Amino acid sequence: MRPRHPRAIYSDANDKKLMEVFLEHKQEGNGTDNGGWKSKAITAAVAALAGSELESGGAPKSATSIRDHWDHLKRDFHNISTLLEKSGWGWDEENQCVQADDEQGKSFPIYHDMKELLEGALATGANAFRAGKDNSDSDTSSESAKVLKRKVAALGERPVPKKRSRDRTGRSSTAHSISDMSRAIENVAVAMNSDNGTSEKETKKLAYSSGNLATLLLQSYHDVHLLEPVLQY
């Protein structure tokens, strides 16, 4: 078995530095139509983050690592933007996180920078939010993204489920994912469409407290399009 190469790790400070570099290069026209970056912008990002691994840990941040990490940041931003479009969800400026009624949301300090960077580039299809391959040299989560599962768990009463067995590609079993999603979508849909006379807010809380939304969000963290069947309600 070949030894695994160390992966790059991105701290919140690293993400903020990326925002500074990319905002500058967006003004210079070095962004792409699908929300990506031309080589000049990526090269500048590599230079800006050179040596940052001494603080964040992990491997040095390469061009491939930065491109993969950018894909993950886009997916985080897309998930949050989708939630903010739904009634009952809002943005907490003080804590820089999503709020669902009185529940705790996911911290994302670079939300406004991402919004500026991706203005007009979100409707480009699934490929714009596809994460890098499992064998890339990029850590698949930033410091903010690493707390997603813990904070999303606050939306439900059950703890984050244990990781399922993975296939040879490192991905969770498709059959397990479909089964989990099917049950969660059904339960949330029933709660959201309940006609038992409860108020909209009470109905939403029923759906959230069941733990089903947590399942949906955790699954959608690996594929944002899994949210689409339930967000129509």
Angle, CA 52 vertex, CA 47 and CA 55 arms, to 5°: 175
Distance CA 64, CA 143 (A): 19
* pLDDT score recorded for residue 83: 77
Are 130 and 71 contacting, i.e. CB atoms less than 8 angstroms apart?
A: yes
Using DSSP, how many helices (H) and how many strands (E) does the chain show? 10, 4
* Selected residue with higher pLDDT from 27 and 195: 27
Structure tokens at 42: 């990526």
Q: Which helix (H) or strand (E) holds 141?
A: strand 138-142
* pLDDT score recorded for residue 28: 96
Mean pLDDT of 197-205: 50
Distance CA 215, CA 212 (A): 5
pLDDT tier at 12, thresholds 50, 70, 90: very high
Polymer length of the chain: 233
Structure tokens at 79: 């998930």
Query: Residue ranges per domain, the chain?
Result: 1-148, 156-233
Q: Is pLDDT above 80 for 66? A: yes
Rounded to the nearest 10 degrees, what angle do helices 39-48 and 12-27 cross at?
Answer: 140
pLDDT tier at 54, thresholds 50, 70, 90: very high
At 193, the amino acid letter reads N
In sequence order, the 6+-apart residues with CB closer than 8 A to the CB of 69 are 8, 10, 18, 61, 132, 138, 139, 142
pLDDT tier at 119, thresholds 50, 70, 90: confident
In sequence order, the 6+-apart residues with CB closer than 8 A to the CB of 165 are 172, 173
